[in-house]
Amino acid sequence: MNITTNRLIIRNFRLSDAEDLYCILGDTETMQYLEPAYSFEKTRQFLQNFCIAKNGAFAVEHIKTGKVIGYLLFNECQKSV
């Protein structure tokens, strides 16, 4: 998948995104209401095993810098009966 706007690219993750993703997941202030900040190794495993292998998340890249500044997760909607 590749969606481009004036400022962002939404795309599949690549292994080379590990450093940028760690800047997000490894930051204690960013993660304070979610879970403990990730180590670099845990970030790399999340990237490989979930984001890439399962296509579980998409990278949000800032178009001018080429830096991953966030990610998107999609969940299948459960229809209630």
Spell out the residues 6+ positions from residue 40 whose beta carbon is closer than 8 angstroms to its own. 18, 22, 26
- Kindly state the percentage of the chain with pLDDT values over 90: 85
Q: What are the extents of the domains in the chain?
A: 2-56+65-73
pLDDT value at 8 more than 70: yes
- For residues 65 and 60, what is the distance between their CA atoms, to the nearest angstrom? 12
Distance of CA 9 to the CA centre of its chain: 12
Rounded Cα gap, residues 79 and 76, in angstroms: 9
pLDDT at 49: 96
For the whole model, what pTM was predicted? Answer: 0.87
Tens of pLDDT along 17-27? 999 999 999 99
